[in-house]
């Protein structure tokens, strides 16, 4: 790996995180009370998680992120619609989420789905008046924003050895 290559990946990740943070913050600020800094944070985390060293790996990671986020958002929203936040309840929701991913034969999505459960449930606990459904939907959309930024970023950034 040459020095240019050593700089490409950190630069891709940093730029993706910045753009995703700004877009996630802006998007979530459209919903008063729903924590725009969390929206920016969650979008940036998604961009960082999805950005890989190649376009193919980034695309593969993106599908895991989107499906995992959707499953985790739904599971946590259902829990919070039925019960208030509790750390033990969060652990049970994580268990159910990872089990569901295994049961439908997508076990590799379980980790990202579990992370989404934590984010939705903890952000919901910061203000219990927030709608669990809208909170979960926002966290999913923020994840989608970060994922989209990462995929677009690696598509636009010239990959060494490829003439696209």
pLDDT 10s digits, 96-146: 999 999 998 888 889 989 999 999 999 999 988 899 999 999 999 999 999
Residue 44: domain span: 3-156
Q: pTM (2 decimals)?
A: 0.89
Domain contains 102: yes
Domain contains 152: yes
Domain contains 163: no
The whole-number pLDDT of residue 58 equals 85
* Contact (Cβ atoms closer than 8 angstroms) between residue 127 and residue 32: no
Domain contains 164: no
| Number of compact structural domains in the chain | 1
Domain contains 46: yes
Q: How far is Cα 147 from Cα 68, in angstroms, rounded to an integer?
A: 12
Domain contains 30: yes
Q: How far is Cα 47 from Cα 146, in angstroms, rounded to an integer?
A: 4
Domain contains 9: yes
Domain contains 117: yes
């Amino acid at each position: 790996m040459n020095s240019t290559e050593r700089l490409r990946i950190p630069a891709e990740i940093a730029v993706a995180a910045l753009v995703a943070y700004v877009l996630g913050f802006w998007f979530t600020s459209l919903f008063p009370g729903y924590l725009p800094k969390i929206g920016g944070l969650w979008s940036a985390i998604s961009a960082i998680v999805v950005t890989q060293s190649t376009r193919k790996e980034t695309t593969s990671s993106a599908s895991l992120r989107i499906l995992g986020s959707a499953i985790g958002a739904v599971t946590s929203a259902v829990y919070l619609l039925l019960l208030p936040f509790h750390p033990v309840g969060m652990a049970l929701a994580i268990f159910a989420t990872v089990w569901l991913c295994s049961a439908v034969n997508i076990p590799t999505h379980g980790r990202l789905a579990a992370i989404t459960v934590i984010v939705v449930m903890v952000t919901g606990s910061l203000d219990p008046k927030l709608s669990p459904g809208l909170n979960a939907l926002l966290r999913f959309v923020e994840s989608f924003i970060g994922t989209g930024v990462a995929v677009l970023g690696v598509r636009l950034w010239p990959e060494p050895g490829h003439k696209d």
